[in-house]
Structure 1
Amino acid sequence: MAAEAMGLRERKKRQTALRIYRTAIALFAEKGFDAVSVQEIADDAEVSKMTVFNYFGSKEDLVFKPMVEHFSDAARAVRDRACGESAVDAVRRQFLEMVEGRDPSVGLHGEPFARRIREVIMKTPELMERAYVESEKGARQLADQLAQETGDATLALIAAATLTAARNALVEEHHRRLDGGEAVDEVAADAAERAHRAFDLIAAGLNGYAVKA
């Protein structure tokens, strides 16, 4: 019974967090990030202001908290790669898996809510700055992982910056085409081919780099 009660509490907590999140994004999209107060979000989500801050530490976190882990995707791919797999191939493999799964974090999701989040960020300078900072943190994590493995911090920074830039460029291309009116299926149809071309180019320059022993 205790386990069942805990499971019920956890489900309710997740449902509350999701309700607050969706309410916040809807209000930000309608009125603009700066024009919406946390109290207004709390009122619309039918929770207290304190509850909002219990789930989301700041107003910016109402946008970024559910997605912030994805800025470390490339670092995780490299950290968890199999023996014999290079850093480039690990990041490539992970990205292709996300393309196949139509992961929102790589810009391939047709659900309007996912598109709305990007619109809110793109229209808000402070959120754009936060996105840049989080991206740089992810690149630094990747560089630290590579430096730890190879012992060469300079080359690790170069490799991490290159891999991060390639991922960002591919994701931005997905968004650009969707913003231009193309359907998700149409963009996804050649996404894997574009990704292979991008990572092939990097692999040529980092030939044999950071192959896990």
Structure 2
Amino acid sequence: MRETHDESPPGLRERKKQQTRRLIAETARQLFAERGFERVTVAEVARAADVSQQTVFNYFPTKEDLVFWRLGAFEDDLLATVRDRSPGESALAAFRRFVLGGRGLLRSAQPEAREQLAALTRTIDESPALLAREQQIFAGYTDALATLLAEETSADAGDIEPWIAANAMMGVHRALVRHARGRVRDGARHPALAKEIRAGGEQAFALLELGLGSYAVGAPRGSG
């Protein structure tokens, strides 16, 4: 009983922080959808969420993070999937399993989620700042994946294979994101859109399998 009591307050604090983060992000999402990313200030987001501007920055270091705040967890999950793959499974197979597994709003069949996806698509497409930030994020994913592949294959410092492999894999992800965004603009919605994106992904990964199917096959470094 005592251990449960001791662990309860941190759990409550963490839940409170998560609730505040979601409130700020949801408020920002609604404002950006209504008026556009560039036309909304952080101060306006803070007022609408009934928090201070400093509180917003405590949770979201940049204005762009109000849109892309979930992508940190995406990167962690992606790298963990590749790192913790089963012996005998290639890095490409693990990456494919992760990308085609379905995540976020695209996976949801709820009408509200479908409209949120459409609004988010418009918000990003209409903002040069968000498009630029997205490219930076994707570049960071690629570098992190290349570093992981280099470590697992004991690549030399000047070896370009890990970088090429990481760019090829992330290229599929970026292409699918771009295609999905275009189809959302055209009016496509779940579940037909999810099936279409998965089919395109299967086709793309089949092409990569010809060159990367035997690269970085199941080289686990231990459970730690």
Q: Which TM-score band (shorter chain)?
A: 0.7 to 0.9
Q: Deviations over 1:139-195 (max 9, x none)?
A: 111111111222153111111111111122123222322221223111223443332
Structure 1 partner of 2:65: 61
Structure 1 partner of 2:185: 179
- Mapping of 1:4-43 within 5 angstroms? 4-43=8-47
Contact 2:93–2:213 (CA under 8 A) maintained in structure 1: no
Structure 2 partner of 1:145: 148
Q: 2:125 aligns with which of 104, 122, 127?
A: 122
SS class of match (2:191): helix
Higher helix share: 1
Whole-angstrom CA distance in 2 between matches of 1:191 and 1:132: 20
The percent identity for this pair of structures is 38
Q: Does residue 208 in structure 1 map to residue 214 in structure 2?
A: yes
Gapped regions of structure 1 (runs ≥ 5)? none
Whole-angstrom CA distance in 1 between matches of 2:194 and 2:40: 34
Whole-angstrom CA distance in 2 between matches of 1:138 and 1:72: 9
1:192–1:144 Cα change, 3 Å: same
Structure 2 partner of 1:49: 53
Structure 1 partner of 2:104: 104
SS class of match (2:70): coil
Gapped regions of structure 2 (runs ≥ 5)? 220-224
Post-superposition, which runs of at least 4 consecutive aligned residues in structure 1 deviate over 6 A?
none
1:34–1:8 Cα change, 3 Å: same
More displaced, 146-155 or 35-44? 146-155
After TM superposition, the score normalised by the length of structure 1 is 0.87
SS class of match (1:35): coil
AA at the equivalent of 1:171: V
Shift of 1:72: 5.4
After TM superposition, the score normalised by the length of structure 2 is 0.83
